[in-house]
A and B are shown apart, each in its own frame.
Chain A
Amino acid sequence: MTATHPGPRPTTGGLPYGPRHGGLPARVAVLRWSWRLLRREWRRQVLLLALITTAVGAAVCGLAAVHAYVRTPAGTFGSASQLLHLGGGTLPSRVAAARKDLAPVDIVAHRPVPVPGSLDPLDLRAEDPHGPYGAGRLRLVSGRYPAGQGEIALTASAADLLHARTGGTVDLGGRRFAVVGRVENPGLLGDTFALAAPGTGSAAGTTVAGPAAASADVLTDASADAVDAFRRSAPDRAAPVMVQVRGDFGRAAADTLILALATVALLLISLVAAAAFAVVAQRRLRQIGMLGTIGATDRQLRLVLVGHGTLTGVLAAGCGAVLGGAAWLALAPHLESAADHRIDPLALPWPLLAVLLVIGVLTPTAAAWWPARALARIPTAQALSARPPRPVPARQSVWAAALLTAAGSGALVASHRTNGLLLVVGLVAAVLGVLLLSAPAVRLMAAAAARAPFTTRVALRDLGRHQARSGAALAAITLAIGLPVAISVLAPVNQHTAGTGNLSARQLMIRSGDRDPVIPALSAEAARAQQAAVRKWAAGAGATAVPLEMAYDPAVPRTTAQSGVEGQPVVETGHRTGANTWAGVPLYVATPAAVRAFGLGTAAAAAPHAEILTSMPGSEQLAVLGTEGRDRARSASPTAHLAGSAYTSVPRAFLTPGAVRARGLRTVTAGWLVTAPHDLTGDQRAAARDMAALNGLSVEVRDRQDGLRTVRWASVAAGAALALGVLAMTVGTLRAESTDDLRTLTATGATSRTRRALTAATAGCLALAGTVLGTLGAYLVLLSAFGDDLGSLGHVPVVPLLMAFPGIPLLATAAGWLSAGREPPGLARRLLE
């Protein structure tokens, strides 16, 4: 009964062997076996599959949502790369020059027209709907585009404002128009305007439905040099050309952030997966021995488990992609109003999604690699007998852990939470340091076992014997606990302090005009009326209103803001982002009231010569912008750093009174920060909006921050689930490897109570150590990062901390007690052997 081997064989080292590792047929055969085993044992893999599927699904949906949520430049630029805002009395000649110098261009002419019963004028704009760049910022919803001077199309919000409908007429600016259609800016749904037909001939771009335009936007793809030359050639200094360069509004950064978060989450899950694969490896030891006897090489043996990991990853990533995709398709329509632009559900960052899925596959593959390597190294004869290898002692050094922790903490302290490089380096080093403490912690527990009760002693010594595995599990639990603890501590920081850059639920910002760096030109009487209205409303709400002042250069002439409001441009601060472009934020004046409200005293005293006080990153490059002496002013100004985030809801950059005087600037009240003793109610917020609308102000409030609360509780729940999952797998593996000990104990009279106590003690001790290390690690990182602002950490998240400690150790102990107790199978047979 012999069958002949087909074909001649190449020889290797004198032996007539086949390809070194069997080539593709061998890989296919091994993967086929892996797949069959995965199918047979799918119930045992459900937890891991569900975990990876959920993570990939959430990441796919999250990436799609964040990508779609971030505003697109199309709403402002259409498909053009630059936008020039022209205004002033020389508009016709400038439009003509733009047509000549920057061709091809799309001209959008604006004329604000008053609306009866409203303080805000309506933007009546003339634009060629079929222009070369306008497609992304103009869309016909119904009806048709206006064709003659007596026709307009309205956005939905403009139609509501004017109580008009398609087919009717409306009076605007003293003229009657026929409403012929409904339009929208698909990239900016909040853009409220009436669209008129573009002028013809010399009127194109300079008139709007007959009368002259107040300003015009020029959309162009011309080079930066051409645009700069055009800007410099402006004859009218009273109407400077404002240039905006197309950016991605942070979409790429947001995409990358989500991808990074998903990668970190999947790496965390890979720790769980590694524990799961170690269990699989233990269960398959005998089968692997069999494969070894029939001639599988180490690489082929490894491939059994690595293939299992890859197939698990493919399955989970596929299911996750479908799940996440379905969730995104359901979510997308509901996101449009929040995102303020139309969303194409299929306009997704496909390459990043592909990367995400690849990471989803690679994560379990990588997690399976180490158990696979250990599995392949077990001698075949030993594997055949299904005896696990002797535990390998862990070699992590306490010194390395201490060094990394200290270095990480130092870097975090030095980062002041604004130096990105130090922050990342410090975070990684500190986390690694804390994780490296896991194995020494296990050794310490084992050493302390001598005086413990019998079952605890055995449990702790088992942990010590298997310290490589229990140390890795403890590291995973530490991370799973540490992250939610850190999030729980940080969430209140973001909820309650205006000084760190966020409005709390007790606060709101009231601004004069819109958010443009142009303060509306008001008479003294109108300004007093605004101030009186704000104070009255604040008093009604029991709140205090701190006036916020901005500075302007009296030599800089008034201009028309993009919103159409004429006013005084205020000075800003910022740094260069390109040859002709600057990224700026408004500068508030550090008045005594502002110093008290925002806690600027320490920073101002520490840097008496500073002109700018700010929490913006890259402070050393900041300049004062918007003054007459531009060239001089654009050199970097002395800057003092403020603690706090770079979030922009509240003032985060201040000009010192000394700088105001030295530069000959003047100040104007630009807004108020209102703080109430309690969270503002919905009625109070509505009243604030009504007051603002009546007085030409704008209001900014934070939502109720349910999102932060949700993140906090979700992170606590996810961390607890992850920690318990790791525990279940680790305790299962350890107890499986100690089955013989358990048999001996049972044979010598140990009852189910002893067996339960043993498993409960193993789970409880590991959970306790993980919780303590995780909590201490989280606080160490936070205390280092917030070393200059410890008050921010004053709020202790009692309930999440109680859930972690003693909640998780108790839960683990109870679960261990309940799940153990059965008599080991094959007791008599194994003992007789």
Chain B
Amino acid sequence: MTAPLELRGVSKTYGEGPAAVQALIGADLTVAAGEMVAVMGPSGSGKSTLLTIAGSLEEPTGGEVLIEGTVLSGLSRDDRARLRRRHIGYVFQDFNLLAGLTAVENITMPLELDGVRSRQARRQGLAALEELGLADRADSFPDELSGGQRQRVALARALVGERRLLLADEPTGALDSHSGEGVMRLIRSACHGGAAAVLVTHDPQLASWADRVVFVRDGEIVDSTTPLPGPESLLTPGGPLTGEESR
């Protein structure tokens, strides 16, 4: 079965000459369907670059990115946009809902951009909101929703349609712990439904929800681990946050 996401020796350099910065160096990463991978590392380590390259928002300077088996390097800007529309969903820390569109319209936007008629798209959007328990807020605008509700709408937008790859950048960073847990539960549930998820986070507790944690430092993937169930696993002797490396 084709992996939803595969990075092969991906590098990214910003700037030229003496001002050049290597943000990512030879990164290899494969995320299988139904798998949740957390990416951790200090600020400036290249986590977000990895996510934007994986999501086709930026082009790598070297290596290959494959989404559902399709090599991105051969695609035009518009083809990559269509690929995002069909296969990739994003969730950001600050929700990134489109102002001026209601909750359901935000969810249906990727479908409508793909040519689905408004009425059909709305049906799907309402079904997604129903699953998230937000059916009664379908016609609310983003500024009428709480932070947790906004992030759930963003999550619904990221997963609506046939998308099988979810890329989340600190998805609970702006939420209280209760709302954050609710959002993580939904992402986990999406993975159980067959979606692959890549989660960039500083938060070990959040990473504990993942099947696998990848550590990035100075642009290189330096470690990858399968944490024990539960957040406390990261703090156990031999765990990645105790200072002892584990393989």
Q: Is A677 an interface residue (CB 8 A)?
A: no
Q: Is B226 an interface residue (CB 8 A)?
A: no
Interface residues of B (CB under 8 A from A): 52, 55, 57-58, 70, 77-79, 81-86, 88-90, 92, 96-101, 105, 108-118, 120-121, 124, 127-128, 131-132, 156-157, 159-163, 186, 189-190, 193-195
Which residues of A (71-88) have their CB < 8 Å from a CB of B? none
> Cα distance A1–B79 when bound, in Å?
26
20 contacts between A and B (CB under 8 A): A2-B159, A2-B195, A3-B128, A4-B162, A5-B111, A5-B116, A17-B86, A18-B114, A18-B115, A19-B114, A25-B117, A26-B112, A29-B118, A37-B100, A287-B99, A291-B109, A292-B57, A293-B84, A296-B81, A296-B85
Determine the chain A residues whose CB is within 8 A of the CB of B86 once the complex forms: 15-18, 295
For the residues of B in contact with A, the DSSP-based class is helix
B116 near A6 with CB under 8 A, answer yes
Which residue of B99, B115, B190 contacts A2 across the interface (Cβ within 8 Å)?
B190
> Cα distance A200–B180 when bound, in Å?
103
> Cα distance A646–B163 when bound, in Å?
73
A294 near B90 with CB under 8 A, answer yes
B57 near A293 with CB under 8 A, answer yes
Determine the chain B residues whose CB is within 8 A of the CB of A447 once the complex forms: none
Q: A15-B83, A293-B57, A297-B82 are in contact. Are A22 and B99 (CB under 8 A)?
A: no
A15 near B120 with CB under 8 A, answer no
Q: Is A13 an interface residue (CB 8 A)?
A: yes
A28 near B100 with CB under 8 A, answer no
**Total residues of chain A contacting the partner, CB 8 A:** 46
Q: Is A36 an interface residue (CB 8 A)?
A: yes
User: A39's closest neighbor in chain B, by CB?
Assistant: B100
Determine the chain A residues whose CB is within 8 A of the CB of B186 once the complex forms: 1
Determine the chain A residues whose CB is within 8 A of the CB of B108 once the complex forms: 29
B124 near A25 with CB under 8 A, answer no
A295 near B82 with CB under 8 A, answer yes
Q: Is A249 an interface residue (CB 8 A)?
A: no
> Cα distance A286–B98 when bound, in Å?
10
Determine the chain A residues whose CB is within 8 A of the CB of B90 once the complex forms: 293-294
Pick from A6, A291, A293, A379 the residue with the most CB of B within 10 Å: A293
Which residue of B55, B78, B111 contacts A299 across the interface (Cβ within 8 Å)?
B78
Minimum C-beta distance from B154 to chain A (A):
10
A15 near B82 with CB under 8 A, answer yes
B113 near A15 with CB under 8 A, answer no
> Cα distance A290–B110 when bound, in Å?
11
Determine the chain B residues whose CB is within 8 A of the CB of A1 once the complex forms: 128, 131-132, 156, 159, 186, 189-190, 193
B115 near A25 with CB under 8 A, answer yes
Determine the chain B residues whose CB is within 8 A of the CB of A2 once the complex forms: 159, 162-163, 190, 193-195
Which residues of A (377-424) have their CB < 8 Å from a CB of B? 379-381, 384
Q: Is A740 an interface residue (CB 8 A)?
A: no
Q: Is A300 an interface residue (CB 8 A)?
A: yes
B98 near A3 with CB under 8 A, answer no
Q: A1-B131, A36-B101 are in contact. Are A25 and B116 (CB under 8 A)?
A: yes
Determine the chain B residues whose CB is within 8 A of the CB of A380 once the complex forms: 57
B98 near A291 with CB under 8 A, answer yes
> Cα distance A23–B114 when bound, in Å?
8
B115 near A6 with CB under 8 A, answer no
Pick from B77, B84, B109, B120 the residue with the most CB of A within 10 Å: B109
A13 near B85 with CB under 8 A, answer no
A22 near B115 with CB under 8 A, answer yes
Q: A295-B110, A379-B57 are in contact. Are A3 and B118 (CB under 8 A)?
A: no
Minimum C-beta distance from A620 to chain B (A):
59
Minimum C-beta distance from A6 to chain B (A):
5
A25 near B57 with CB under 8 A, answer no
> Cα distance A393–B80 when bound, in Å?
29
B113 near A22 with CB under 8 A, answer yes
B100 near A297 with CB under 8 A, answer no
Which residues of A (20-64) have their CB < 8 Å from a CB of B? 20-23, 25-26, 28-30, 32-33, 36-37, 39-40
Minimum C-beta distance from A287 to chain B (A):
6
A13 near B79 with CB under 8 A, answer yes
Which residue of B82, B120, B156, B194 contacts A17 across the interface (Cβ within 8 Å)?
B82
Determine the chain B residues whose CB is within 8 A of the CB of A4 once the complex forms: 162
> Cα distance A25–B122 when bound, in Å?
12
Minimum C-beta distance from A285 to chain B (A):
13
Determine the chain A residues whose CB is within 8 A of the CB of B101 once the complex forms: 32-33, 36
Minimum C-beta distance from A271 to chain B (A):
27
User: A30's closest neighbor in chain B, by CB?
Assistant: B113
A23 near B55 with CB under 8 A, answer no
A295 near B114 with CB under 8 A, answer yes
Minimum C-beta distance from B1 to chain A (A):
17
Determine the chain B residues whose CB is within 8 A of the CB of A120 once the complex forms: none
Q: Is A298 an interface residue (CB 8 A)?
A: yes
User: A293's closest neighbor in chain B, by CB?
Assistant: B90
Q: A28-B118, A29-B113 are in contact. Are A295 and B81 (CB under 8 A)?
A: yes
